[in-house]
Each structure stands twice: as structure tokens, then as C-alpha cells.
Amino acid sequence: MNLLPLVLIFAALLYLDQYQQGLLSAEVSALREQARIYAGAIAETAVQETNNQPALNADLAQPLLYSLTEPTPNAQALIYGADGELIANSRVHPGAGGAIVTEPLSAPPPPGLFSRIISFIYDHLSGSVTGNQDESGVIGSGAGQDPNTLGWQPDARTVLQMTNAAQGKEAPPFVRRDPQGILLVTVAEPIEHGQQSVGTVLLTREASEVDAAVLAVRISILLLFALALALTVIVSFYLSRTIASPISRLAAAAQRMREGRAGAQTLPKAVTGRNDEIGTLARTLEGTSQALWSRMDAIEKFAADVAHEIKNPLSSIRSAVETLTRVEDPARASRLLAIVNQDVSRLDRLITDISDSSRLDSELSRSRYEIVDMARMLATLAEIHDATRKEGAPFMEVEAPAADLLVRGSETRLVQVLRNLIGNAISFSPAEGKIYLRGRLTGGLVELSVEDEGPGIPDGKLDSIFDRFYSERPQNEQFGSHSGLGLSISRQIVEAHQGRISAENRRDEEGHVIGARFVIRLPKAGE
């Protein structure tokens, strides 16, 4: 956008040069046609035979030339003989009483202040842009002469040389400016009588119309340049206010985020409330920032929970070891060693689950999802349970359609979720109880549920059971056999698959709790 004024001025310079040359060509053509008319009239009227040789008669040529040029006050015509002698001048004619009157050319109107200012500005602007300013002011010269030596009329000898060299062709015109800056155009036409050249007509005219037309175009160009410049400034200011400034704010916010100083900060509403791409970017950045800080808070809380959970078995081990050094009774020492072994096993299980949970996100992000048949997975897990079922363990039933339960995800991790839920159901199920694995389609979602006949979930704990290290175990279960991360990992896996997991209590017709139900909802493949 900032290049628009320069592009316009370059284009204008090219156009103006062609436009000026076109005007000059038209002026030369008109002047040359006028000179031909003069030469033809003089050849018919002012040529006499002397010694069988045609020659110009000055007494006849002078008044005729004056009559021909009288309608053109801003022109001057000269007639030169074949020997280069001046024969007639349109500005010289007989006056009253035989006096010779020489009429000066009418002085052109001086250029106005506005015209001079426009010409000055344009000339300097043109020179600055193109790097080439014509110091002589000459538009062109057919004779290749120094314009300062041409004056109002070119040298007659030069004209005769040009006309003689032309040999039936048009002699090139003289186009120049005089010391006063007036644009002058001169053409030379031979006077021919009987295929013989007897002289030359030299016609000079001020090209004031060309200067006026060029001035008008210059004014238009400068106005266009000023308009483009003003438009560029306005657009630049607008872009600075609407794009550059908001982006600078976003960059500053990103810098604060990088430096760790933007945890509680939000972007201005003036930026996030925009309905354009900048607003979308700002809202995305703000959401990313909030998600990042939420993740950092979660990591911090996870680290604190890990430290707490690891500290408990380590404290128990340290206490048992310290006590063991002072115990002499073999039976008590054996019990203390059993406690140490139990805590070590608990610690090993805890570290394993923590490691699995910490690398879960990165593994899921690198995993290639595939189509998984959840009905077949439920049936396979039920078969494995039946094959490995111990006496008194609960039975398992599957209720799911044979097809259409297809989801896109990681089969290994989805199996891990169901195994965690099934294992949890087995822990709370009574002896010879039943566990139900159900699957169905609902609203473009694949809904899976694991139901047991256990005591259910305590009121107010339906959401807390998915928190890290939360543990609500049966009374008959050995302490420390679970880390409290199973359901948390399950939720993490399900949410990574764009799904949801929830827990609820099963109730009979009278409202009594008859077990727990875990429900998983995943997008159907292709939805």
C-alpha cells in the first residue's frame, strides 16, 4: 500500500511523456501542413523566370507571406532563397507612406503563480522519482543543435542543409524552448517550381496549447498523487489502529506468558470482542493461555498429590525399619518385615500408575487412531473373565448389538479403560454377583456402560471418584492394593477420544441403591 504513490507517479510520468509527444507530433503535423500551403502559394505566385531560371521575387513574396500569416498572430514565417539569402519576413511589411513596419510577436501571457508552483513541484518530483531531470529544457531538436544558439529561428544555413539532405523527404522539425521558457516549434518546407527548389519556407509557432494541455495533465497527476498519498496515510493509520496495535498487544501478552507473568491476566475486551480474524486470534490465544495455566495448575496439584501419596508408604517403611532395629522378638520382626514388603509393593504400584498417567497425554497424541469394534471388545473381555474366573467371583453378561458400535481411537487404551471399570466393579461386587456390560447407539454416540451389584457410590462423590488418588475401597480389600489413579486415567483416556465418562447409582423401583453404573460416551466412527 505504501508503494501506491510511487507506482502512480511512475505510471503518470510514462503517460505524460507519451501524451506530450503526441501533442507535439500533432502540432508539428499541423504546422507542416500550414508550411506546405505557404510554399505552394508562393511557388505559384511569387516565382518568376530569369534567364530561363525560376527565382523568387521578393516584392511579390513579402506581401503574400504577410497575408498568409496574418490570421496566425503567434507565428512567424521566413522565406529563404536557394542561396540562403533572406527574401521575406512575415513580421515585416510596407506601412503608410512607404515606411517599413516590423511587427513584434505578441508577448505570451506570463504564467500564473499557480502554474509556476505546479511546474516547480512537478519538475522536482519528476527529477526525484526518475533521477533524470532535463536541465536544458529542450524537448527535441531535429538539427541536433544547442538550443541556446537557436533563438527564435534556427540558422538558415542549418535549414538549407537539412532540406537539401532530405531530398524529397520531410526535414525534421525544430522543437525547443527559448530563454523565457516559451515552447517553440519550427518546420522547414522547400518551395518547388517545376520540380526545382527555389527557396525554403521556415515557419515557427508558439506551442502554448501544448503547454496548457500538459499543465492540466500535471495538475491532474499531482492531485492524483496527493490523493494516493493521503489515502496511503489514512489506510496506514487505520491498519496501525486495527491490526498493528492489536497484534502488538497479542505479542506483549505472549511475552508475558513466556516470562510466566500472565497467569491471572486476560486480554482487553477491545481485542477479544472483535468479530474479525484479530478477535478470533485473540480469543484463541486467551483460551490457549487459560488452558496452559490450567494444565500447569493441574501439574502442580498432581506433583503435590504424588509427593503426598509417596510420602505415606515411605514414612511407614522408615518407621518399620527404625522399629525393626530395636525389636528382638522374631515374631514382631517378621510382622514389621511384612509391613515393609506391603508398603514397597504399594509404592511400586503407585509409581507404575503415576508413570502411566504422566506419559498418557504424549502417547495419545502420537497414537494412530483406528476403527475399533466396541461390541467385539466387550465380548472378548467377558470371555477372558469367564476363562479366568475364580470361585465366588461375579459373573459377567454382555448386552450389545453385533455391529455398528464402531469408534475411532486407540484400541489398547480403550481396553485399559474397560478393564479398569471391570476391575473396579469386581472389587465391589458381592460373591456370585453379576456385572453387566452394555452397549448401544444413541444420537450419533456409542454408549458403553459397566454395571455392578455392589453398595454403589457415596452421595456427593459421583464426580470426586475421578480425581487423582481418590480411593473408596471395600472393607475386605487389602490396604494399598490400588493407587487411586485408575478412574482418573480412564477419564483422561476417554476425554482424549473426545468422549465423556460419568458415574451414577443404580436404583430399584423403590429408590434403593442396587449398584453402581459407569457410562462411557464416544463419538461414532464417521460422525
pLDDT at residue 138 in the model: 36
Whether 115 shows a pLDDT value over 70: the answer reads: no
Mean pLDDT, the chain, rounded, equals: 76
Neighbours of 296 (CB within 10 A): 12
Question: CA–CA separation, 437 vs 99, rounded Å?
Answer: 134
Task: Give 196 or 259, the one with higher predicted confidence.
Answer: 196
pLDDT band at 519 (very low <50, low <70, confident <90, very high): very high
Which range, 174-178, 368-372, 475-479, 482-486, is most confident? 368-372
pLDDT at residue 160 in the model: 57
Report, as an integer, the average pLDDT of 4-19.
Answer: 67
Q: With beta carbons less than 8 A apart as the criterion, state whether 81 and 202 touch.
A: no
pLDDT at residue 82 in the model: 79
Question: CA–CA separation, 247 vs 278, rounded Å?
Answer: 8
**Considering only CA atoms, which of 258, 214, 202 is closest in space to residue 69?**
202
- What pTM was computed for the model? 0.48
Percent of the chain with pLDDT over 90: 6
Whether 393 shows a pLDDT value over 70: the answer reads: yes
pLDDT band at 520 (very low <50, low <70, confident <90, very high): very high
pLDDT at residue 392 in the model: 83
Whether 290 shows a pLDDT value over 60: the answer reads: yes
Cell 538539427 sits at which residue?
Answer: 143
pLDDT at residue 521 in the model: 93
Chain-centroid distance of CA 317 in Å reads 64
pLDDT by residue (tens digit) across 23-33?
888 888 998 89
pLDDT band at 103 (very low <50, low <70, confident <90, very high): low
pLDDT band at 137 (very low <50, low <70, confident <90, very high): very low
Cell 509556476 sits at which residue?
Answer: 116
Q: With beta carbons less than 8 A apart as the criterion, state whether 116 and 84 touch.
A: no
Cell 516565382 sits at which residue?
Answer: 47
pLDDT at residue 289 in the model: 75
pLDDT at residue 6 in the model: 63
Report, as an integer, the average pLDDT of 74-98.
Answer: 77
pLDDT band at 195 (very low <50, low <70, confident <90, very high): confident
Report, as an integer, the average pLDDT of 277-284.
Answer: 79
What is the b/e burial string over 115-134, where b = at least 16 CB atoms within 10 angstroms of the residue's CB? eeebbeebeebbeeeeeeee
User: Parallel, antiparallel, or unpaired for β 513-523 and 47-50?
Assistant: unpaired
Whether 132 shows a pLDDT value over 70: the answer reads: no
Q: With beta carbons less than 8 A apart as the criterion, state whether 230 and 236 touch.
A: no
Report, as an integer, the average pLDDT of 185-192.
Answer: 86
Q: With beta carbons less than 8 A apart as the criterion, state whether 453 and 321 touch.
A: no
pLDDT by residue (tens digit) across 43-55?
888 888 777 788 8
Domains of the chain, each with CATH number or no CATH: 4-221 (3.30.450.20), 266-358 (1.10.287.130), 367-523 (3.30.565.10)
Q: Which residues pair with 189 in a beta bridge?
A: 201
Amino acid found at 101: V
Question: CA–CA separation, 90 vs 62, rounded Å?
Answer: 7
- Contacts by 14-19 with C-beta closer than 8 Å and gap 24+? 16/214, 16/217, 16/218, 16/221, 19/213, 19/214, 19/217
Task: State phi, psi for 258 to the nearest 5 degrees.
Answer: -65, -35
pLDDT at residue 149 in the model: 41
Question: CA–CA separation, 488 vs 358, rounded Å?
Answer: 11
pLDDT band at 147 (very low <50, low <70, confident <90, very high): very low
pLDDT at residue 168 in the model: 57
pLDDT at residue 207 in the model: 81
pLDDT at residue 133 in the model: 40
pLDDT by residue (tens digit) across 292-348?
777 777 777 777 767 766 777 788 788 888 887 787 788 888 888 888 887 787 777
pLDDT by residue (tens digit) across 426-439?
888 888 889 999 99
Q: What is the 3-state secondary structure (H, E, C) of 384-418?
A: HHHHHCCCCCCEEEEECCCCCCEEEECHHHHHHHH
